[in-house]
Copies of this chain bind each other. A is one copy, B any other.
Amino acid sequence: MRILHTADWHLGRIFHQVHMTEDQAAVLDQFIDLIKDRRPHAVIVAGDIYDRSVPPVDAVRLLDEVITRILLDHRTAVIMVAGNHDSADRLGFGNRLFAGRGFHLFGRLDRDMAPIPVEDETGPVWFCPIPYAEPALVRETFGSSPEAVRGHNEALRVLADHMSARTPAGARRIAVAHAFVTGGEQSESESFLTVGGAGTVDGSIFEGFHYTALGHLHRPQHCGHDRIRYSGSLLKYSFSEADHQKGITFVELDGAGQITACESIALTPRRDVRRLEGYLNDILKGAAPGENRQDYVMVTLLDEGAILDPIGKIRQVYPNVLHIQRTFLERGSGAVRSVGDHRRLDDLDLFASFMEQVTGSPLDEEGRQVAADVIDDVLGRCREVAP
């Protein structure tokens, strides 16, 4: 059984004001080529299909196009579950009709949800969909007691057990879930499932499955065990993911359910997401040979002091620079000194204390004199205008 496992497409994502739909379309084209090459028996998309519950129209159109091509041109079964970013009801529209076309879509939780058998030469593999759901909804849907299902861990166990119980004994089983399994590594672009960490679930829930295809965490990674895996997101969706190697996971199971291959196949984004660090003059010397100037970059400038329009200057070299960080401005932020009640400081002392926080060293006598002159001048003019 050959499977392509992907997740966290976040279609319609806006990254520092850039609509990423074209970038997403470009890698999804490669994904479809991969389906053509590898001829998987099934494709898994493990949640966060869209970036938000009401995605932009372009994102809806892109998903329509991709799913239609996979199903009609390549006749490959798709198992897709909703993630915490998706609206389960909106995403799940028409799912009972789609099922007859091989598109197995799981949005809103439903007591009648059942595993999907997909056949290979040796028999069926049972795909057990576990769409993202709040614990309260799991209680309501499955009539569990509030004590039994307090958090995501218990909720996911109820769902996993519900699915397992609906597969034949000894069958090959694959879980498809959107969850934060304990020990996984987070990035900045995943929203918390639950404030305070109660959203994590225990990997042991998936012990009865031959493979668990996860979504939620954006870095491709195993989770404690080889058979429990995050494919990672389609693209880098935050600068904290700049060092990730994104891709699609290709998994192969033999007739006994043993994993015989597991590989992350890289996709080539139209524009990479990168972090640069240096002095402005060095950055402005231009991109290195072979470097894609069109990449989405964040620049950390080491220069101190005022710079006029740094992003405008850097844009000449990197047209898609999205964010600039000034180390010297942030230096003080780790240890903000108390200056007492700032409301009791006069204008000059207030400014001096601000400068000290920002630069890390006290304003010298010359600086104080310049500031005092400016303050006098400004206040004098104010008095002229409004006597």
Q: Which of A84-92, A135-143, A236-244, A271-279 participates in binding chain B?
A: A84-92
Chain B residues near A103 (CB-CB < 8 A): 94, 97
Q: Which of A63-71, A119-127, A208-216 participates in binding chain B?
A: A63-71
B97 engages A57 (CB within 8 Å): no
Number of interface residues of A (CB under 8 A): 24
Chain B residues near A287 (CB-CB < 8 A): none
B90 engages A60 (CB within 8 Å): yes
- Nearest Cβ in chain B — how far from A294, in angstroms? 28
B89 engages A60 (CB within 8 Å): yes
Question: Is the CB of A381 closer than 8 A to any CB of chain B?
Answer: no
A97 engages B90 (CB within 8 Å): no
- Nearest Cβ in chain B — how far from A199, in angstroms? 23
Most chain-B Cβ atoms within 10 A of its Cβ — which of A54, A92, A96?
A96
B97 engages A71 (CB within 8 Å): yes
Chain B residues near A15 (CB-CB < 8 A): none
Chain B residues near A89 (CB-CB < 8 A): 57, 60-61, 64
CA distance A195 to B68 in the complex (A): 37
Q: Which residue of B lies closest to A65 (CB)?
A: B96
Question: Is the CB of A100 closer than 8 A to any CB of chain B?
Answer: yes
Q: Which residue of B lies closest to A87 (CB)?
A: B57
Chain B residues near A94 (CB-CB < 8 A): 64, 67-68, 93-94, 98, 103
Q: Which residue of B lies closest to A93 (CB)?
A: B64
Known contacts: A100-B101, A101-B100, A101-B101. The answer to whether A93 contacts B60 by CB under 8 A is yes
Chain B residues near A108 (CB-CB < 8 A): 61
Q: Name the interface residues of A58-85: CB closer than 8 Å to any CB of B.
A: 60-61, 63-64, 67-68, 71-72
B57 engages A93 (CB within 8 Å): no
CA distance A234 to B95 in the complex (A): 25
Quick one: which of B90, B97, B100 contacts A67, CB cutoff 8 A?
A: B97
Quick one: which of B72, B93, B96 contacts A93, CB cutoff 8 A?
A: B93
Q: Which residue of B lies closest to A105 (CB)?
A: B94
- Nearest Cβ in chain B — how far from A260, in angstroms? 32
Q: Which residue of B lies closest to A69 (CB)?
A: B96
Q: Which residue of B lies closest to A102 (CB)?
A: B97
CA distance A373 to B54 in the complex (A): 58
- Nearest Cβ in chain B — how far from A141, in angstroms? 14
- Nearest Cβ in chain B — how far from A94, in angstroms? 6
Chain B residues near A97 (CB-CB < 8 A): 67-68, 71-72, 97-98, 101, 103
CA distance A100 to B60 in the complex (A): 20
Q: Which residue of B lies closest to A59 (CB)?
A: B89
Chain B residues near A100 (CB-CB < 8 A): 100-101
Most chain-B Cβ atoms within 10 A of its Cβ — which of A71, A89, A95?
A89
- Nearest Cβ in chain B — how far from A245, in angstroms? 32
CA distance A98 to B93 in the complex (A): 11
Chain B residues near A72 (CB-CB < 8 A): 96-97
CA distance A206 to B14 in the complex (A): 45
Chain B residues near A96 (CB-CB < 8 A): 68, 72
Chain B residues near A68 (CB-CB < 8 A): 94, 96-97
Most chain-B Cβ atoms within 10 A of its Cβ — which of A67, A72, A94, A101?
A94
Chain B residues near A98 (CB-CB < 8 A): 94, 97-98
**Could you list 18 A-B pairs, sorted by A, with CB under 8 Å?**
A57-B87, A57-B89, A57-B90, A60-B93, A61-B89, A61-B108, A63-B93, A64-B89, A64-B92, A64-B93, A64-B94, A68-B96, A94-B94, A97-B97, A97-B98, A100-B100, A100-B101, A101-B101
